[in-house]
């Protein structure tokens, strides 16, 4: 219960922060907010409230794991909310077509290179995972590490990239 309560407080803080400071957004900022609240919650409990601490170290671990799993669920959902998913955009656009439905060409006005492809490339550049110089895209050292990790996990999971 302590973990759910603390997670709810962190979520409300995130909501308030996002509304008050429009420049603060993104997955990284969200992770920082949840980590700060996790650390603060553990510190607060260990030193003052002793609610969870009194039940032993396993209770602290339990509360932390529940908090982390809840935070990860929200972070996953947030990535859907922050980015515009092509699939969800297609579904909503099709619904708006009503009984007449939609022809394939009609989707080209909602799924454009500017709104989806260029935006994602710019996000990779902003995150310093790739560099664009003289019309060429290259991975940064940070991008190489991430790409190798992703390749490794793709091989383990037996997945091929879709896109």
Partner 1 sequence: MTGHLYPLFVLAPVCGLLVDSVLHVIVSRMLRGRQIPSLAVAFLLGGLVSCLLTVQALKCSMFNSVEYWSCQMGNCLFYAALGFCYFNFVNLHIASLRIRILLELLSAGSEGLDVKAVLSKYNARDIINRRLERLCIGRQLLERNQRYYVGNRLFLLIARCNVLAKQLIQGGRYRKL
Structure tokens at 116: 């989806």
Task: Closer to partner 1 by CB, 42 or 90: give it.
Answer: 90
Is residue 108 within 8 Å of 129, Cβ to Cβ? no
Q: Which residues contact 88 (CB under 8 A, 6 or more apart)?
A: 80
Interaction of residue 66 with partner 1, rule CB under 8 A: yes
Q: Which of 72, 126, 128, 152 binds partner 1 (CB under 8 A)?
A: 72
Interaction of residue 141 with partner 1, rule CB under 8 A: no
* Contact set for partner 1, span 27-56 (CB under 8 A): 55-56
As measured in angstroms, the least distance from the Cβ of 124 to partner 1 is 6
Is residue 51 within 8 Å of 45, Cβ to Cβ? yes
Q: Which of 27, 31, 42, 146 binds partner 1 (CB under 8 A)?
A: 146
Q: Where is 145: in which H helix or E strand? A: helix 141-157
Q: Which of 61, 126, 128, 152 binds partner 1 (CB under 8 A)?
A: 61
Which residue in 75, 90, 77 sits closest to 33, CA to CA? 75
Residues in contact with partner 1, counted by CB under 8 A, come to a total of 77
* Contact set for partner 1, span 76-135 (CB under 8 A): 76-78, 80-81, 84-92, 94-95, 97, 100-104, 107-108, 110-113, 115-118, 120-121, 123-124, 129-130, 132, 135
Q: 2-20 and 27-44 helices cross at what angle (nearest 10)?
A: 140
């Amino acid at each position: 219960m302590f973990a759910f309560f603390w997670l709810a407080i962190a979520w409300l803080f995130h909501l308030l922060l996002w509304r008050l400071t429009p420049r603060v957004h993104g997955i990284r900022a969200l992770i920082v907010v949840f980590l700060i609240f996790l650390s603060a919650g553990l510190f607060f409990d260990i030193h003052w409230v002793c609610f969870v601490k009194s039940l032993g170290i396993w209770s602290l671990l339990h509360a932390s794991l529940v908090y982390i799993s809840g935070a990860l669920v929200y972070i996953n959902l947030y990535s859907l909310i922050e980015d515009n998913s092509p699939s969800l955009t297609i579904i909503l656009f099709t619904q708006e077509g009503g009984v007449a439905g939609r022809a394939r060409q009609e989707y080209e006005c909602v799924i454009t290179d500017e709104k989806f492809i260029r935006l994602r490339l710019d996000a990779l550049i902003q995150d310093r995972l790739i560099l664009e110089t003289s019309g060429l895209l290259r991975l940064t050292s940070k991008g190489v590490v991430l790409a190798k990790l992703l390749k490794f996990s793709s091989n383990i999971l037996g997945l091929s990239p879709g896109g």
